[in-house]
Amino acid sequence: MYKKMSELGIAIIGCGRVGRMRGKIASEFPGISWIGLCDSNEDIGKQLQQDINADYFTTDYAELIQRNEVDAVIVATSTWSHFEPALLTIENKKKLFIEKPLTLDATQSKFLISKIDQYDSDVCVGYTQRFRRKFISVKEKIQNFQIGDLSCAVTRTFMNKMGPMNELRLTQDRRFLTPMVISGTHSLDMSLWLINDTPKSVYAKSSDKILGELGTKDATFGIFTFDDKIWSMNISWALPKKWPGASYGLQMGFVGTKGVIDIEDTHRDIIIVSDYDQGKIYRPKGREVEDERFVDFLTSYPPGDIYANDLWGPMKDETFSWFQRICMGINTPHTNAHEAHRNLMYTLAMDLSAKLNKEIDLDISEDYIMDRLTLEL
């Protein structure tokens, strides 16, 4: 039995693209009775306040999180600024939804986990693709042994340069803005959710011919080993901006003792070719002058698609599901904080393996991995 829906107040920290989408969804959910917003850019925040009829806006996230009206918090700030608002939310014993990753620093992430355990906090992390129908159906088949015991798995991800260029433009500290930590983490989370086992080691290699001068890598390939299976995982996020597809082009394969599941998620089944620029819908304010793109793979934008000025797809499902979780106590497939910390550790381990050119035992400490990553070779 689900409990009767509670009415809760919510704070959204960060009113950019993702905060805007989740804020719009919050304004449509019957269990959300109060919405407060925070952004360092007052114009962006007040525009969202007007658009969704939010109750409150401030540029001070600490003041907002500690307001009595707030029962739960969404942290949708830039990738490198999650730690402080997340920590304050946890310490104030409020429910938390945070965009991936928890942080870019494994020691900070470990500290958050210790606080989450201390306060027994309910924390969900934004790995939106878990809410797509095809992956949920595959999860059901694998966990019910419809292909027997897994023997090996393969994950291949292609992205064009729009994603990394968007991340790079907002900060000069690019040490950990790597393809695996920022974007490959999505397909890593999905793969491990489906494999449902703990790898023992990883060996990886990276290349930087295209984006190296901007302070990041082009691609990272790795082999994970388990007690009784192997998994190949790779990502390249340096394809030309004209490459069709807003983000992920993903292929996955799972071979078991009694069968195989092969997943084609490149979005090439629906292609639009037009005299009109298809890329403009993916460009935030300040990036209007970009390469024109007249070919696109429809449904490739990870949050979903716009119809009648509403977002439809996995981000809406994920956000609604989280509201059901906090308002009604419904069990959901969200990535939890411990899984998100694991994802960060494994993606950083891939970067460390590529840097040291050796296999990395995954039973390593957060301090070790951060110390070795920051040392010059």
CA 150-236-195 angle, 5° bins? 15
Split at pLDDT 50, 70, 90, the class of 377 is: very low
**CB crowding 314-342: b at 16 or more within 10 Å, else e:** bbbbbbbbbbbbbbeeeebebbebebbbb
- Residue ranges, comma separated, of all CATH 3.30.360.10 domains in the chain are 132-304
What fold characterizes domain 8-129+316-334? Rossmann fold (3.40.50)
- CATH architecture, range 132-304: 2-Layer Sandwich (3.30)
Q: Is the pLDDT of residue 198 over 50?
A: yes
Split at pLDDT 50, 70, 90, the class of 121 is: very high
- Residue ranges, comma separated, of all CATH 3.40.50.720 domains in the chain are 8-129+316-334
Distances, alpha carbon 190 to alpha carbons 130, 154, 196, 213, 370, in Å = 7, 12, 10, 30, 24
Per cent of the chain over pLDDT 70 is 94
- Dump pLDDT digits (tens) for 133-177: 999 999 999 999 999 999 999 999 999 988 888 777 766 667 778
pLDDT at 288: 56
